[in-house]
Amino acid sequence: MQKIDLQPTEVLFLIGDTGTVGVVKVANEQMLFIGTPEKEEIVLYLEEDDLIAISSFGTGQKYEKAIKSMAYITREMESPIIVLPKDHPSSKRLQMVLSVGESVRLDCNITPGTHPEQDILCSCDSLSGLKIYKTKNGVNITGNTVNYKIEKL
């Protein structure tokens, strides 16, 4: 298990061979809404140490900037999460997907953007199988050891 300290003002980048996952703390108690294909709205009640995990299907500065932007839109603007139907053609074009909650399991064998469950997130092969858990001062990551870096958000 990797224990990584993470402040609310920082973003943790998990760097895979063909993808990057960014993790930030929610930082404030808040509600976030999920729109489902069944035209329902699910309300998430979040604590300040819960996680926003954003998976991008690429590596490098372009994707890291996009992860920071998506974190801002989700955390600060409280933008709702939209879940697509499993057969939606746009899921093939998504460049990023996200999950919010206490923990998240990365999996390369799911269709991006189609899971209302917030404990699973599509990722690249090399990050698949990792599990990320919130802690008061950061995160714990189980699975293979992963390369990472931390930057100011």
44-94 pLDDT tens trace: 999 999 999 999 999 999 999 999 999 999 999 999 998 988 888 888 888
Report the distance separating Cα 118 and Cα 148, nearest Å.
22
Report the distance separating Cα 114 and Cα 4, nearest Å.
29
- Reported as a pLDDT band with limits 50, 70 and 90, residue 2 is very high
Q: Decide: 51 and 24 in contact? Cβ < 8 Å.
A: yes
